[in-house]
Structure 1
Amino acid sequence: MRLCRQAGLLGMAAAVLVAASAGCSATSTVDSQGGAAEICTSPGVSADQITLGFVYPDSGPGSDALSSTRAGVDARLGLANEQGGIHGRRIVYDWRDDATSLTQNVQVVTSLVHDESVFGLLTASVTMGDSMAALSADGVPVVGLAAESSWSNYLNMFSFVYADSPEVVAQYVATSGAVRAGIVITGDAPSTLQLAARYTSALASVGIASESVPFNPAVDSATQTARRLAASGVNALVGLSSLDDLATIMQAAHTTGMEIAASVALSGYDQRLLAAKGKQLAGVSFPVAFRPFESGGPAIDRYRQAMNAFAPQAGGPDQQLAMFAYIYTDMFLRGLELAGSCPTRQGFINALRGVTDYDAGGLISPVSLRDNMGKPSPCSAIVQINPAGDAFDVVRQRVCADGTSS
């Protein structure tokens, strides 16, 4: 164990130790009985537990949206440890707050990997960008939220979904009777404008014209925006904006009598949203990358039971990002299981990258982790806030980019 800690602290000098890039391998010694006993010297691995690191924004911009992710980690690890752990070892974690800061992310990732010598990382961060190259060079396995495009450049970094598919959303909007869509955007960041261009192209591919709708509630009138959209024939909205901005425009649309055949937001599938803005967002649909909570079934039952038992602080299990973190954690556990009784970092990476049918125990459609890097989800379920604004309804079990649906 000490050998791995020293190798991690040496940083660049770790290149001298070839095994360090694989996370320190197993060695053999002679036990008291005179036989060969395997000793696991990988970072974070002891006789009875494996220690992971978890990085997410507990403070700073976006921290509220990602706050439920830690509950998802707690729930899945709690369930695994209740069932005996992985190869007889409990799985535990140390966590750090990156405060949605690239600089602080580098600091906390370095702390976990080099000072705490964790085996690998779970992440629910949107500011991993400046840490990725070093994690790859050190051969540290990472599973989590692939919020940055560079995530897909590294074989040591895993996710089950890299992006929502504009083509899936376009297919859903097309089947809803839309003829022209307004793409609502907040701000003019290059990434936002690039995403809007992708949705424009996807909508055009199914015969729907569209226009971008920049909206700043501090200077723009929602009523005037809704009237302008109605006058140009827009009868569908795609929200690449904040949910607050979309709710403001939706309210103005209803007040002015604007007909809306379809409205879609990319995130927000969460019971807390219903309590806060359910009535304002009634009729808004959301693509979902996992089996919707409302669909039920054994996999959803297991998730809910784990959340209630091991993460009661979450205030209810039906939260999109808690589910994402639960699945990320399940992926990591799958990698540990496949890496064997004395796991190494490189053995983990090789084993998990070789999985071609990962389905999170029935929570997602099977995905190949061998070749899904950087690819949007080919299919999604679609849920919609009901007219009363107090529940989600499953309106499509499956909509795919190729036009098939159920």
Structure 2
Amino acid sequence: MWLFQKRLVRGAALAASASTLAMGLSACGQAGSGTAGGVSCDASAPGVTDKEIKLGLTWSDTGEGAASLAAFRGGVDARLGLANEKEGGIFGRRITYAWRDDQADRQVNARVARELVEDEGVFGMMMAPGGSGGSIEWLAEQNIPVTGMGSDPGWENRGNMFSFYYLGEGSNTAWGKLVRELGGTRAAVIAISGSQSNSDFNRQLAASLLESGVEIVKTYNIAEAITNYEAIADQIKANDIDTLTGTVLPATAVNILPALRERGVELKAPILVLGYDDKVLQENGASLRNAVIVNQIKPWQANTPEQQTFLEAMNIYAPQIQPATTDIAVDGYVSADLFVEGLKLAGECPTREAFIAALRAATTYEGGGLIPQPVDLSTNYREPNSCYSIVRVNSEGTAFVPLFDAKPLCGDPITPERMNQLLGVA
């Protein structure tokens, strides 16, 4: 469960001025031709040689959530394999990486990230969710480029840390808009006991609901091992609640939704924050029928050329990940794609400073064509994500059906001040 919780969470920003960008891009001069033989630079950055750019990766090979995160590394392998074998590398250099197991532990992550930077001499870091919060401050102090999921509060406002998704400050109306589109007006909100990450997310969610005119009737703080789902179902029915939202994970939904059906209750808006995964459907489709799932990837049913490229790359470079249509694999793929894009923009003789300045200046990053819509990397690390892909499990529990014609559902910003006002915070 930790992985799903970490994904929902939301520092002085690094200003990327035009002069800084110009200095970074010209730091090594115009040496090199960009041919397959690699580029020679007078002064190489850490991890950069004539033939190679070496990155670091932290992920949980062991510990809680390790099975799920194998797909993250698979996505990394797929994107870098594509870059090296199909695209000729970056200015003739192959991208490689050294990795360490952070065991989903922040203290371990802090140690192994230092090892990768100081002992392995990597140019920058890719980080899977889990223990990544342990090294954020140190990596920012060292101005090390980092890509991954902005799933820890420490990612926010860090100019060196790149993600296509952050929770940000304030909120937006997307969640409330979704509930109203589905016909919901009275909500039960699920929170995870003892999780500050989910507390932050649920505050944003609550503001979105309230701004959209959705009443929050009940809030449930649950712990999976001891939660009485039957009692929750009884209360939802007794209070005429038509919406279930919050940190609703598949493990929660497969208990609550069948219990509600046994009581003759079919919610108008049963909304999950994760579960758009063929494996989840295969294992629990019957229990999850009619559930609506909010996610940050383009629906697979669109079958775009970019999605086909991703699936082909997964089959070639990470065949052990099946099915490959999982958002965790996409997270890894996009994390690697951010580095590919940043290295292209940084020029033939990349430096960490040039990479950060150039990538932070990108205003239409497309995430390999796998995310709902392009994002502005120059601002997204300060703003809450406001656009989502929405799919529904069909009434038979056998397939996902994109809603809103497979187009992203986007909300309007809610300022931090307005959010506090809605939540009654002085």
Mark the CA change 1:279 to 1:120 in structure 2 (over 3 Å): closer, same or farther.
same
**Is 1:104 the counterpart of 2:111 in the alignment?**
no
**Is 1:150 the counterpart of 2:150 in the alignment?**
no
Q: Deviations over 1:120-174 (max 9, x none)?
A: 1111133223312221222211011111112123211111111396631221111
Q: Equivalent residue of 1:356, what SS?
A: coil
Amino acid at match of 2:75: G
CA distance in 1, matches of 2:325, 2:29: 41
- Aligned identity (percent) is 34
CA distance in 2, matches of 1:368, 1:194: 23
Aligned-pair CA distance for 1:25: 6.1
Residue in 2 that maps onto 1:399: 409
**Is 1:185 the counterpart of 2:191 in the alignment?**
yes
CA distance in 2, matches of 1:313, 1:156: 32
Residue in 2 that maps onto 1:7: none
Mark the CA change 1:70 to 1:205 in structure 2 (over 3 Å): closer, same or farther.
same
Mark the CA change 1:199 to 1:25 in structure 2 (over 3 Å): closer, same or farther.
same
CA distance in 1, matches of 2:224, 2:241: 20
**Is 1:119 the counterpart of 2:123 in the alignment?**
yes
Amino acid at match of 1:401: G
Q: Equivalent residue of 2:99, what SS?
A: strand
Q: Deviations over 1:17-61 (max 9, x none)?
A: xxxx99x96899xxxxxxxx6334211111111111111111222
**Is 1:238 the counterpart of 2:241 in the alignment?**
no
Q: Equivalent residue of 1:202, what SS?
A: helix
Q: How does 1:82-101 map to 2 (within 5 A)?
A: 82=85, 83-101=87-105
Residue in 2 that maps onto 1:269: 276
Amino acid at match of 1:301: Q
**Is 1:133 the counterpart of 2:137 in the alignment?**
yes
CA distance in 1, matches of 2:223, 2:90: 50
CA distance in 2, matches of 1:241, 1:284: 11
User: Which of the numbers 57, 64, 67 marks the counterpart of 1:64?
Assistant: 67
Mark the CA change 1:92 to 1:220 in structure 2 (over 3 Å): closer, same or farther.
closer
Q: 217-226 or 258-267: which moved more? A: 217-226
Q: 247-256 or 283-292: which moved more? A: 283-292
**Maintained 8 Å contact 1:223/1:256:** no
Residue in 2 that maps onto 1:344: 351
Under a length normalisation based on structure 2, what TM-score does the superposition of the two structures give?
A: 0.83
**Is 1:325 the counterpart of 2:332 in the alignment?**
yes
Residue in 1 that maps onto 2:35: none
CA RMSD of aligned residues (A): 2.3
Instruction: Determine which structure has more spread, i.e. the larger CA radius of gyration.
Output: 1
Q: Equivalent residue of 1:254, what SS?
A: helix
Q: Equivalent residue of 2:69, what SS?
A: coil
CA distance in 1, matches of 2:120, 2:158: 23
Residue in 2 that maps onto 1:225: 232
Residue in 2 that maps onto 1:248: 255
Q: Unmatched 5+ residue regions in structure 1?
A: 1-20, 29-36
Residue in 2 that maps onto 1:214: 221
Aligned-pair CA distance for 1:232: 0.7
Under a length normalisation based on structure 1, what TM-score does the superposition of the two structures give?
A: 0.87
Mark the CA change 1:315 to 1:218 in structure 2 (over 3 Å): closer, same or farther.
closer
Q: Unmatched 5+ residue regions in structure 2?
A: 1-23, 32-39, 414-426
Whose RCO is larger (CA < 8 A, sep 6+)? Answer: 2
Q: Equivalent residue of 1:299, what SS?
A: helix
